[in-house]
Amino acid sequence: MLAIKQCDLNRQTDGAFTLTDFITVLAVLLILSAIQWPSMANTNGKGQVASCLYNHRQLISAWQSYAQDNNGTLVGNLDGGNVSSLANSNRTWVLGWLDPNPGNDSAFPEKYGGRANTNTFVLCQLSPLSPYLGHSAGVFKCPADKSLSKGTTGAPRVRSLSMNGYMGEKGKLTLRSLCRAKSRRLTNRPNLFNRVFRCQNEP
């Protein structure tokens, strides 16, 4: 006959957690996770900065490639009403005047994307830089830009980058003259190519 050992359910075994042990471990885990929250939020911000810098580098590379393919001529940079005409699509880096006030942004026919604030067609198809950017509209927008097409309402705006007014057709500069000017500058001066595009959300 087998001997049956009776278990004492009230007796604590040596290898088990007590309620006090469990609460202590849980408290330590909560404290560690509370310490990690700020760094996790900071990581998201750093990710946006990295994406914005990557987009900026892509635009600079496209800008330089366009100039190299066009005998040193920089892509155009029209302003005002000139950017609202489809006929000027090959004369400016991007069409469309953006404005947070409803109705003040450039308007294009619906088959060409409609209002400039939400128009990806002019970015992906009509921009002279588009072939160098893989026809991607996302490059023209900073990921931290949360602005909306109608100020406080509407769809997200599709572009938050603008080009320096001294660059392009109006400035009468070529890539060659910029490179000469850059080589004459002191090495501690900011990189001239980083002054071409600017995020409109920057102060």
pTM of the model: 0.65
Per-residue pLDDT of the chain (203 residues), as tens digits, is 455 555 555 555 556 778 888 888 888 888 877 777 666 655 566 777 788 888 888 888 898 899 889 888 888 888 777 888 888 888 888 888 887 777 788 888 888 888 888 888 998 999 999 999 999 888 988 888 888 888 788 888 888 888 777 676 554 555 555 555 444 443 334 454 556 666 655 54
**Nearest alpha-carbon partner for 61 in 133, 109, 1:** 133
β-strand partners of 148? 151, 156
Q: What are phi and psi of 14, to 5 degrees?
A: -70, -30
Question: What region does 168 belong to: left with phi over 0, alpha with psi -120 to 50, or beta?
Answer: left
